[in-house]
Structure formats: C-alpha cells, structure tokens
Amino acid sequence: MNFDLTEEQKAVQLAARDFAQTELLPGVIERDEQQKFPAEQIKKLGALGLMGIMTAETYGGAGMDTVSYVLAMEEICKVDASTGVCMSVNNSLVCWGLEHFGSEAQKQKYLKPLASGERIGAFCLSEPEAGSDATSQRTTAVEQGDHYILNGTKNWITNGNSASVYLVIAQTHPELKHKGINVFIVEKGTPGFVVGKKENKMGIRASDTHSLMFTDVKIPKENRVGDDGFGFKFAMQTLNGGRIGIAAQALGIASGALELSLAYSKERKSFGTEIFNHQAIQFKLADMATKIDAARLLVLKAAYLKDQHKDYTEAAAMAKLFASQVAMDTTIEAVQIHGGYGFVKEYHVERMMRDAKITQIYEGTSEIQKLVIGRELFK
C-alpha cells in the first residue's frame, strides 16, 4: 500500500483549499442565512476545473482521478458543504453518468458545457413516494413515435432551480418493473416542465433543493440515455460513485469542525489555562481526529478501487455510512468544545452540525448503506 499522494493530487488538494479559504469562506454565513445559491463561486469552480474534475479533457473536464476528486471535495466542504454538494452532484451523478453511458452526440451537446462549469446539472430520481425505494417510479415516460411524453413529480432535487440540464428517471414499461425504467436528458425551459417550490432546509441551505413537475413534456428519443430499460442500472451505478462524493463531503465537514475546534481550544482559556490543556478537551479532540482519519481511509479506499476499475460498491457504502456518522459525532462535539460560542453562527460549527445530518440521508440513507453492505457480504 502506498499512502503518498502524487504531485498532481497534492496540487489539486492545495488549489481546492486555497479556493475554499479565499472564495467560499467570505460570505458563507450570509449565504446560509439567506439560502443564497453560490452562483458566482460555482462559476469559478468550473473555471478551476472542479465541476468536471473526473471528466476527460476531450469533453471539457480536467481528466483527473477519483482520488483527486475526493481530496478536492474534502477541502471545499471543510468550509462550505452547500457548494460541495453542488459540485458532487454535477461530477458524480451527471457528468460521470453521461460520460460513461451517454451517446457521442449527448456528450458533445451536454457533457462538455457541464464539465466545464458553463452549465449545471441535476439528477432526478427521488419522488414523493420513491425515496429509498428507487424501483417505485411514478413518473412515466410513454413512447410516442420519435419522442416520449413525460409526466410526474420529482422531490428533493439538488441544483433544482440552478441547473439547466436534468437527468430524469422515469418508468416506461410498468409491467417490467425496474427493468422498464429509463433515464432522459431534459432541458430547463422545455414546455410542461415546471420548477416547484424551494425547500426551507435545516442544513446545506445555500444549495437550492426543489421539487420538479412534468406535465406532458415532450422528450426526443435521442435524449434517452442508454438502451431501453437501462434507467435503473444507470441510477444505481451512478449512485455508487455518488456515495463516494457524499462520503467526501461528510469527511470535509468533520475535518473542518476539528480544525476549528483545535484552533478554538488553543485560544479559549478556563481555570487559568487554554482549554486544550484540559484532559476532557484533549480526549474529545483525540476521538474526533481518530474517527476522521479512519473515515478518510475508507473514502480514499473507495476512490482508489473506482480508479482501478474494481468493484467499489461495498467500499462506497461503507465510506458513506461511516463518514456521515463521523460528521455527526464530530460536529456535535465541536459545538460542545466551543461551549456557548458553538451555538453562535459566527463560529461556524453550528452550521456544520446542521449540514452534517443530510449526509446520513441523501444518495441512500444510512439504513440503505447497511442493506448494500449486507448484500455484498453475502455474495
């Protein structure tokens, strides 16, 4: 095993760290309070190559590996998990899915502007009655000649209003159940496609999460991704990689909270000395650091397996399950270490605690990750 990063990976990590500190940290509290989408920051991320970091340069991406991606995700999410999830969805679910399963025409038309950050993508799977049970799609796509007619509703869609390209999962052949599901590229502004209300969320508030409504939306056949009936496999394979991205997001939230807690413990005094010198605080910090390091190894292992074209299903589920729990545990302790200041917005850790929770829910709840791991164990 080689735990050393390449020079290219170190450069990506440093660039993401500098960007987070200079471009994301100023205004992060205000964006959270105002639920303001980081549009300018996302454009700059695209210019830096981080919105299509794993996409081949041929299609407008940076052409880097998954390890580089998770290193960058961690650094971004140390400061702003809302921007991080926008970056994750665009990279893991949209760009990766189109690059690996889209037609050449689809890659030229949609992947290039998405990977370069010129456009933003959204992945539309969840529905009012189809969250963890992704097989129960109520959104339908009825074939009519050279096009499909799309009807239905999608919930909890990240980049819901800011995206201009949407990958929509829909049922075409109900009698075939999950084998009759397809995925379609839908452009914003298509007649019959309406962006619904913005969700008022507990955390990742600067990320715009919306419901989407489709009423007799006409989709040309060339906008179907893959063969007829490939939609469910498309969703599951992209979500496997997406879990690595969310695990890296959780890792970033946790490591950011630890960094703030360490700095605070060296400044805050009680009983005549910095609180870092109190054993109770040292034990908390030691537990936080140990869990974070373990989570980082799981995340890097999953990324490494993906880069080696090996089966990473179990590793990705383990990384997301563990890292999301570490994010919750660490941020709760970070607030505790900060005491009353931890409850105040300007110290950041209360936002991190709110942001951490969603990592246990989206792109497969922790319970679903345990199901995935259990099934892999019995293969």
* pLDDT of the residue at 132: 73
Q: Clarify whether residues 246 and 361 are in a common domain.
A: yes
Is 133 a domain residue? yes
Q: Which residue has the higher pLDDT, 317 or 128?
A: 317
Q: What is the pLDDT of residues 205-249, one digit of tens each?
A: 999 999 999 999 999 999 999 999 999 999 999 999 999 999 999
Is 354 a domain residue? yes
Q: Clarify whether residues 76 and 113 are in a common domain.
A: yes
Q: Clarify whether residues 223 and 268 are in a common domain.
A: no
For residue 103, the domain's CATH number is 1.10.540.10
Q: What is the pLDDT of residues 238-285, one digit of tens each?
A: 999 999 999 999 999 999 999 999 999 999 999 999 999 999 999 999
Residue 315: closest CA among 294, 295, 327, 299: 299
Cα 41 to Cα 55: distance, rounded to the nearest angstrom: 20
Is 157 a domain residue? yes
Residue 292 pLDDT more than 80? yes
Structure-token pair, residue 48: 């830096």
Q: Clarify whether residues 107 and 204 are in a common domain.
A: no
Q: Clarify whether residues 198 and 245 are in a common domain.
A: no
C-alpha 378, offset from chain centre: 28
Last residue of a domain, which of 87, 119, 151?
Answer: 119
- pLDDT confidence tier of residue 308, bands split at 50, 70 and 90: very high
Last residue of a domain, which of 68, 84, 119?
Answer: 119
**3-class DSSP state for residue 148?**
strand
pTM across the whole model: 0.96
What's the structural domain count of the chain? Answer: 3
Is 127 a domain residue? yes
Domain that holds residue 251: 241-377
Query: Amino acid letter at 275?
Result: I
**Catalytic annotation present for 23:** no
Q: Clarify whether residues 245 and 331 are in a common domain.
A: yes
Q: Clarify whether residues 92 and 151 are in a common domain.
A: no
For residue 136, the domain's CATH number is 2.40.110.10
**Contacts with 241 (C-beta within 8 Å, 6 or more apart), sequence order:** 66, 92, 93, 96, 306, 312, 316
Q: Clarify whether residues 61 and 178 are in a common domain.
A: no
Q: Clarify whether residues 149 and 180 are in a common domain.
A: yes
Residue 379 pLDDT more than 90? no
Query: Amino acid letter at 152?
Result: G
Out of 259, 274, 363, 376, pick the active-site residue: 363
Cα 211 to Cα 231: distance, rounded to the nearest angstrom: 20
Q: Decide if 124 contacts 169 (C-beta within 8 A).
A: yes
Q: Clarify whether residues 212 and 281 are in a common domain.
A: no
* pLDDT of the residue at 129: 79
> Mean pLDDT, the chain, as a whole number?
96
Query: Amino acid letter at 70?
Result: V
Residue with tokens 């949609």: 110
Cα 102 to Cα 114: distance, rounded to the nearest angstrom: 13
Residue 1 pLDDT more than 80? no
Q: Clarify whether residues 208 and 293 are in a common domain.
A: no
Is 1 a domain residue? no
* pLDDT of the residue at 130: 75
Is 301 a domain residue? yes
Q: Clarify whether residues 160 and 176 are in a common domain.
A: yes
For residue 336, the domain's CATH number is 1.20.140.10
5: DSSP letter: P
Q: What is the pLDDT of residues 85-113, one digit of tens each?
A: 999 999 999 999 999 999 999 999 999 99
* pLDDT of the residue at 80: 98
